[in-house]
Structure 1
Amino acid sequence: MDAREAALRQAYGHAVRWLASLSDRRVPARASVDEIVRALGVELPDGPGRPADVVDLLATACEPGLTAFPSGRFYGFVVGGTEPAALAADWLVSAWDQNCVMRTVSPAYTAAEEIAGAWLLDLLGLPGGSAVGFTTGATMANFTCLAAGRDAVLRRTGWNAAVDGLAGGPAVRVLAGEDRHMAVDLALRYLGLGKPELVQADGQGRMELEALRHALATGGRGPTIVVLQAGDIHSGAFDPFVEAVRAAHEAGAWVHVDGAFGLWASASPQYAYLTAGCADADSWATDAHKTLNVPYDCGLAIVRDPSALGAAMGLHGDYLIQDRRGDPIDKVPELSRRGRAFTVWAALRSLGRSGVADLVERLCRHAAAFAAGIAGIEGATVLNDVVFTQVCAEFGSYERTERVLGRLLDDGTAWISGSTWHGRRVMRISVSNWSTTEDDVRRALDAIRRASGSA
């Protein structure tokens, strides 16, 4: 057995043991950063070591410091697990080691990206022929789509941002809801557009239509982008897309939808009503690691007009082997990147249309079960309308809610973290993992009851 095979076998053994431990292990990590540093060792060795020994040390030293994010009992953030076919495909992605930017250089990747992109448009009910770029995550998906939107609205005024930059050009106005995700602000900052103008939202985080219409009517007809939201991070609520998109387009604005986890509602006949009218927008961002449950590093930037995305992201290099039909490089910011579409293709091929719908609906059923269980706990109140996968609850007061959260994490059965929503300290539950079972929900609810009873 050569050194590479021995290292891979060692990694496989540790990976299988890790995954097998998820059903019973505490969800929070058991060791601190300092403890892991000591276990790994801080001195760089003078000479080489056996790769298998290095893998063994890494896995053994780090295991106590791992949080069970892939567990069916992790509800702290909107992060999915990894669906089996996607996980196995991701191992192949690393082994194949493709530079997935050019059609001619990696035809296998380009084929997988084109098929997966077409499947995604179909599943999400988005316009056929839209460009689909595979980014690092939802933040860069928002960045990519908003870059296309920024340049497009400036071109309408006769200003070429790609040539002339932003200085001296017309100011781009961006309108977004009060309860937008912080990733939108970050993307706008990267793009030199600054903080958006905030449009009033209702108690669930949905943009108020009359407030949007007023903002559009009073801001002039300059280049404008309107950012809507599919899935509020606290309530799971969806903006009123039909009327909001119509109002924005009548004002000449580009409409972008941040749908990091909520855009997947479109794949379910039961929940597609939440995204009605969303397909009329100009661009959409989502994250395949969240609701679809592929490994990290897989955002999706979708733009109705492929030429707008190409104008913002495309480049030319004399040493590159570019194809007149277009390349993956034309749709995302990076040159060097992983074969993200392989994992998306594997997940979609494994689940099929009905499997994706069932996944979405199962996550929503678990969220509803959490809401019903918490509502039965003395002193607990569910604060949001549970329309998708998010649940927010409080336990009588800021201080008591904080105590419940602390005792819940100490218990270790589940990871459920807190947030502040509309000035209230809340327990925020995000159901995102394909492997979560009814028993996982029951165990988590039992832990919440214990924490609440001792608070």
Structure 2
Amino acid sequence: MNEITLLTEADDRARRYTESIPGRRVFPDAAALQALAAFNEPLPTRGYAAQDVLRLLDDTGSPATVVSNGPRYFGFVVGAALPAAAAAERLMLAWDQCASSFDNSPVAATLERVAAGWVLEALDLPRESAVGFGTSATACTLSCLAAARRVLLARQGWDFDNDGLAGSPEVKVVVSELAHITVKKALRLLGFGMSKIIVAPVNHHAQVDPERLPPLDDMTILCLQAGEVNTGEFDRFDTLIPRAKAAGAWVHVDAAFGMWARASSHAELTQGIEAADSWTTDAHKWLNTPYDCAMAICRDSEALAAAMNSDAVYLSGARDAQKNLTLEFSRRARGIPVWAALRTLGREGVASLVDQHCALARRIAEGLQQAGFEILNRVVLNQVLVRARTDAHTVAIREAVQASGEAWFGPTIWQGRPAFRISVSSWRTTEQDADALVQLLIETAKRG
């Protein structure tokens, strides 16, 4: 089988899978999971035909997928690939570009530069900021925090690049009591030490409490968040950031999904966020691009470019070359699906997408509350935090819904007790899907 025939078959199989999304189980059944044992084979001495490899991948792999690209997946804010973004990704794979710099791929460098500008415009962030398209919020947070530490040390006359950390002035980090695990992971990888991280207490809405904010100074990195993972709440940027800036601290905002509220009618939630020094956000969440695509955004473009620089004698690049803004040297052009999504949605489409999901979250919350469920958050965004009449009932309902294959959402612990979290982030999800989820939960609760 020649290359074109093989790619055509792959396209056909992918098309059939996409067409089947509305009717598929959201989580695979036991038979599909057991069938995965077919992949547990020794490395072949002589390879199989490419067509056989593709057939096994589809026939055995496709039934075992989680249909997070469908309308009834409410597990995490993972979005669902918009048709234009998915199509752009397919063409990008055919191009097979190493998107390190203009010399590697003029088209990738051009499109990612345009996409970066559009992102700043859509989110109304300082237009001079650098935008690095990385793999995840974890990787992009690591990049931003590395740049922050480097800048704070330089202000003290310390050359981090040459002298490292041994003997350097201490850089303190203050994080929310409810900081996301990706922020903690990035800090741990950077060597800050979990026992030395200073925790800022939160109020009953899961926001950092301004009245109990730990002392800040010009050797402090303050990490805030837009869209707490359970409640969807936003820290009070308009209060906290001016205090941090007055002390000379660097402010980083973890805004993996919440940043996109800024492009919608819910922009007031982000008031003051533009005054921070760096931000991270994902496109594969609320912008609904394919995985994996996130953004490291830094007001001081030189700071990010200097921290991430990877110029070599055999390949140098412009300051804003993506290899000089991200962790990756050899990389795919993650900004191309972002460009495609923004070009097809436009400013109005982005706002409509976010507003639709927020409205559906409120619709779900209202339906569940009327049915006797306890809604634990204010539902300011796209997150609904739910508890049934007892902890055991809460767990049983969640497990029964997951096993049904009709919908999927995951567990969480809120204030020491079990709950479950419903996240709305797929462009495919409609009012009918939201109402079906409410009805499913009501019926499941009655059986339990």
Confirm or deny a common fold (TM above 0.5): yes
Relative distance call for 1:48 and 1:371 in structure 2 (3 A) is same
Pick one of 301, 304, 329 that aligns with 1:306.
301
* 1:226-375 correspondence to structure 2 within 5 Å: 226-268=222-264, 270-320=265-315, 322-324=316-318, 326-375=320-369
- Is 1:437 aligned to 2:430, yes or no? yes
Identify if the C-alpha distance between structure 1 residues 34 and 348 changes in structure 2 by more than 3 Å, giving closer, same or farther. closer
Look up the match of 1:58.
Answer: 57
Deviation at 1:75, TM superposition (A): 0.7
For structure 1, the residue ranges without an aligned partner over 5 or more in a row are none
1:172-187 matches, within 5 Å, as: 172-187=171-186
Measured after TM superposition, the shift of residue 103 of structure 1 is: 1.6
1:209 maps to what in 2? 210
Would the aligned equivalents of 1:180 and 1:229 in 2 still touch at CA under 8 Å? yes
CA distance in 1 between partners of 2:40 and 2:9 (Å)? 20
- Letter aligned with residue 198 of structure 2: E
Taking the aligned partners of 2:437 and 2:339, their CA distance within structure 1 comes to 32
Q: Deviations over 1:395-416 (max 9, x none)?
A: 0221111111111112221001
Q: Is the aligned partner of 1:413 residue 2:406? A: yes
Distance of 1:279 and 1:199 partners within structure 2 = 21
Tell me the distance in 1 between the aligned counterparts of 2:25 and 2:56: 22
- Of 396, 420, 438, which residue of structure 2 is paired with 1:403? 396
2:370 paired residue number: 376
Q: TM-score, normalised by structure 1?
A: 0.95
CA–CA distance in structure 1, aligned partners of residues 293 and 369 of structure 2:
35
Return the alpha-carbon distance in structure 2 between the equivalents of residues 408 and 377 of structure 1: 17
Q: Is the 8 A contact 1:27 1:73 kept in 2?
A: yes
For 2:319 and 2:229, the matched residues in 1 are separated by: 38
Identify if the C-alpha distance between structure 1 residues 284 and 135 changes in structure 2 by more than 3 Å, giving closer, same or farther.
Answer: same
Write the letter of the residue equivalent to 1:232.
E
Asked if structure 2 preserves the Cα contact closer than 8 Å seen for 1:27 and 1:412, the reply is yes
Secondary structure of 1:302's counterpart equals strand
Greater mean alpha carbon deviation, residues 115-124 or residues 59-68: 59-68
Going from structure 1 to structure 2, the CA distance change for 1:324 and 1:448 (only over 3 Å counts) comes to: closer
Per-residue deviation, 1:49 = 3.0
SS at match of 2:386: strand
Residue 35 of structure 1 deviates from its aligned partner by 2.5
Q: Given the two structures, how large is their TM-score scaled by the length of structure 2? A: 0.97
- Preserved CA contact (<8 Å) 1:377 1:449: yes
Structure 2: gaps of 5 or more residues: none
| Distance in 2 separating the partners of 1:137 and 1:323 | 23
Aligned length: 446
1:10–1:56 CA contact under 8 A, matched in 2 = no
CA contact (8 A) 1:256 1:283 kept: yes
Alpha-carbon RMSD: 1.4
For each residue in 1:194-250, what CA deviation from the matched residue of structure 2 results, as whole angstroms up to 9, or x when unmatched? 2221101012210001111xx126xxx351100010001000000000110000011
Matches within 5 A, 1:70-89: 70-89=69-88
